[in-house]
Chain A
Amino acid sequence: MIRGRLKVGLCALALALVTMPLATVAQIDLSRMVDTARKTTDLGDKDQEEEQELGEQMAATLLGAAPLSTRDAEQAYVARVGHWVARHSSRPDLEWRFAVLDDDTINAFAAPAGHVFITRGLLLQLNSEAELAGVLAHEIAHVTRKHHLDAIKKAAGMEVAGGVLGMVRGRRGESRTERMVGDRVVGATRELYSRGLDRADEYEADRWAVAYMARAGYDPYAFAAVLQWLDSVATDDSQVALLFTTHPAPADRLERVAEQLTGPYAGLSGKVLDERFIRALGGDLQVDAGHGESLDPE
């Protein structure tokens, strides 16, 4: 590895020596050239580390605004569906994490590096596991397409690769200046979740959602059914206020998904699993109703 880097550096040096007039050779800073070569090869790792740090910070900030649901069966079920769909995404190897937020509004969120959230308010409006898979697939697509990652870098004015990492880390420590730039990331996170992504990103996430859920074996029309239902929710309903201000109109999203389902994806089908959905969420019903027992083990 190190040898490889050195080779790159030496090749670059050799090339420079051949192509440069003698007078400038003396001015070449050798260490700098090796540094540049190293930076290029490390970029992949650094990008991943940066995405992880940023994703954790964004997810933690979101969790500062809404608590996790304490219903275990619900959490376990949503996580299983999410992981199964994520396996069929373009980035199956991320450390995917799924959770239900104990919140009555209708919404779902993603943060870089594989963090996905759905509110309990939305979960209880769904009719089947396939619909849940569709909602989660949309968020998974935001992660795989790096929508939030790119948006946050842009918002915080840190488009240079590797620049964000130092700033996020700076928050935990060192100098006052570093902490200040770190705070900019937190500020940008709050702003991004309040304002939402670019509309084109939302449409793109819808397109990939249909692909991912269908690859995972779910009926892709279930996602269209969710959008169709959202289209019928009154726009002044406070439960959907944040969702509606941060996303394109459901009718516009449905129109595009419909084109996809009747065009290139015509004929796709899959499982709906409505009964498993009710059974899974019903597992928490026992606890909620104060029976204090879980289902017969058997």
Chain B
Amino acid sequence: MIRSLLGFILGLAIAGVVLAGASALTVTDTDLKEQPDDASLTLAELVEGTAVELGPRQGAWYEANSGSESGWLRMLNVRLSSGQQRPGDAGVRSLLQVGRTDATVTTGVRGLTVEDLKHASENRAALQSMAAMQPAPEDIDAFAADGELSPGRVDDPEPPARGRRSSR
């Protein structure tokens, strides 16, 4: 019962991905490609400042609609419009807030402020609870296997490019 309810909700979330578009502007001239691949067919050459609707992301690409054509855009060539829904929004927020009983969603943010931090005193009990919540090593192995996460070799990052200010 619970499982079918969850399945239904997940179904809605996935449908939401298709329906919801996030608006964005291209920040440079960029090609709208047929596939998320530079080698694929170019459907349109979009100039800087073109308005697009974005769908889900796949690697370095967003699914995108320029109004006349649908294809794929390099994700780093767009800037999301302010206050919009996220591209490929999985709907986690709306789903999870359905069940929230506290009134803070409408009355304001229950938020950690600088003032809270400035007056904080140690909570050792919470620190102990935190320690008790950590998974066992075999649990982590199983979790990674379930997600088919395979570790890869990646070089250490290079130091910042020369001439780049490390401003404060």
A interface residue numbers (CB < 8 A to B): 56-57, 59-68, 75-76, 79-81, 83-84, 87-88, 96-99, 101, 103-105, 107, 115, 119, 121, 124-129, 186, 190-191, 193-194, 198-200, 203, 207-208, 210-211, 214-219, 221-222, 224-225, 228-229, 231-234, 238-239, 241-242, 245, 254, 256, 258-262, 264-265, 268-271, 273-279, 281-282, 284-291, 293-296
Q: Evaluate contact between A271 and B149: CB separation under 8 angstroms.
A: yes
Interface residues in B70-101 by Cβ distance below 8 A to A read 75-76, 79-84, 86-93, 95-101
Q: Evaluate contact between A225 and B57: CB separation under 8 angstroms.
A: yes
Q: Evaluate contact between B149 and A260: CB separation under 8 angstroms.
A: no
Taking CB atoms, residues of chain A closer than 8 Å to B86 are 125, 127, 229
Given contacts A97-B134, A256-B160, A295-B2, contact A215 B153 (CB under 8 A): yes
Q: Evaluate contact between A124 and B134: CB separation under 8 angstroms.
A: no
Q: Evaluate contact between A210 and B157: CB separation under 8 angstroms.
A: yes
Chain A's nearest CB lies how many Å from the CB of B82? 5
B interface residue numbers (CB < 8 A to A): 2-3, 6, 9-10, 13, 57, 59-60, 75-76, 79-84, 86-93, 95-101, 104, 108-114, 116-124, 126-127, 129-131, 133-135, 139-140, 143-144, 146-158, 160-161, 164, 166-168
CA distance A113 to B41 in the complex (A): 50
CA distance A203 to B166 in the complex (A): 9
Given contacts A270-B152, A288-B101, contact A83 B161 (CB under 8 A): no
CA distance A287 to B98 in the complex (A): 12
Given contacts A199-B166, A217-B150, A261-B60, contact A80 B143 (CB under 8 A): yes
CA distance A285 to B112 in the complex (A): 24
Q: Jot down 13 A-B pairs with beta carbons below 8 A, ordered by A.
A: A60-B123, A64-B121, A64-B122, A76-B135, A80-B140, A84-B140, A210-B157, A219-B59, A221-B75, A232-B84, A262-B76, A285-B98, A288-B101
Chain A's nearest CB lies how many Å from the CB of B70? 20
Tell me the interface secondary structure of chain B in the complex. loop
Given contacts A88-B151, A128-B90, contact A60 B126 (CB under 8 A): yes
Q: Which of A101, A203, A228 has the most CB of B within 10 A?
A: A228
Chain A's nearest CB lies how many Å from the CB of B167? 6
CA distance A87 to B89 in the complex (A): 29
Q: Evaluate contact between A80 and B135: CB separation under 8 angstroms.
A: yes
| Cβ contact of B99, chosen from A79, A219, A225, A289, cutoff 8 A | A289
Given contacts A84-B149, A238-B109, contact A64 B120 (CB under 8 A): yes
Q: Evaluate contact between A99 and B133: CB separation under 8 angstroms.
A: yes
Given contacts A65-B117, A277-B92, 20 further A-B contacts (CB under 8 A): A75-B133, A76-B135, A81-B143, A104-B110, A105-B111, A190-B118, A199-B166, A199-B168, A215-B154, A217-B144, A217-B149, A221-B60, A232-B83, A256-B164, A261-B76, A268-B152, A279-B6, A288-B101, A290-B99, A294-B2
CA distance A16 to B35 in the complex (A): 74
| Cβ contact of A211, chosen from B134, B144, B156, cutoff 8 A | B156
Tell me the interface secondary structure of chain A in the complex. helix
CA distance A129 to B92 in the complex (A): 12
Given contacts A277-B90, A278-B90, contact A214 B154 (CB under 8 A): yes
CA distance A129 to B93 in the complex (A): 15
CA distance A83 to B157 in the complex (A): 21
Chain B's nearest CB lies how many Å from the CB of A288? 3
- The chain A residue with its CB closest to the CB of B94 is A124
Q: Evaluate contact between B95 and A65: CB separation under 8 angstroms.
A: no
CA distance A88 to B153 in the complex (A): 10
Taking CB atoms, residues of chain A closer than 8 Å to B144 are 84, 217
Q: Evaluate contact between B151 and A216: CB separation under 8 angstroms.
A: yes
Taking CB atoms, residues of chain B closer than 8 Å to A295 are 2-3, 6
| Cβ contact of A281, chosen from B96, B124, B160, cutoff 8 A | B96
CA distance A90 to B39 in the complex (A): 36
Chain A's nearest CB lies how many Å from the CB of B3? 5
